[in-house]
Amino acid sequence: MEVAAQAPIPGGKPMGKGIGLTDSAVARLRRLLTERNTPDAGLRIAVRGGGCSGLSYHMEWTDKPRDRDKIFERDGVRVFVDSKSYLYLMGTELVFEDGLLASGFKLQNPNAKAACGCGDSFTV
């Protein structure tokens, strides 16, 4: 699954709690879960060390949350985040963009101070 970081919003946005899911992200996730015939599964979002800027996003499908995962749900779509990753993702919004040149999920992370040129990694 392709994931890209987005450059920080000028002036910043106050760090909120939780992971937000836009209408576009919910619609795309619901469609993908239906196509996979796994409507009760969810998307795991994690932050790992590595990449050009030091930290990178990772997404994968999972059938159920782990014991200490934080679970975010909107309109029946679930996102799971481990406790350590959540520290970097608080206030982040998951967006799905479908453009002429590229489409995929993007994380609008107000905690990211900088992102690499390819958009796959970030720093805090």
Per-residue pLDDT tens, the chain, 124 aa: give them.
Answer: 434 443 333 333 444 588 999 999 999 999 999 999 988 899 999 998 876 667 888 999 999 999 999 999 999 999 999 999 999 899 999 999 988 887 889 888 888 776 665 555 666 6
- Model confidence pTM above 0.95: no
Tell me the residue range of the domain where 41 lies: 3-123
* CATH number of the domain residue 17 falls in: 2.60.300.12
Burial of 35 (0-12, 13-18, 19+ CB in 10 A): exposed
Q: What total of structural domains would you count in the chain?
A: 1
**Paired residues of 47 in beta bridges:** 57
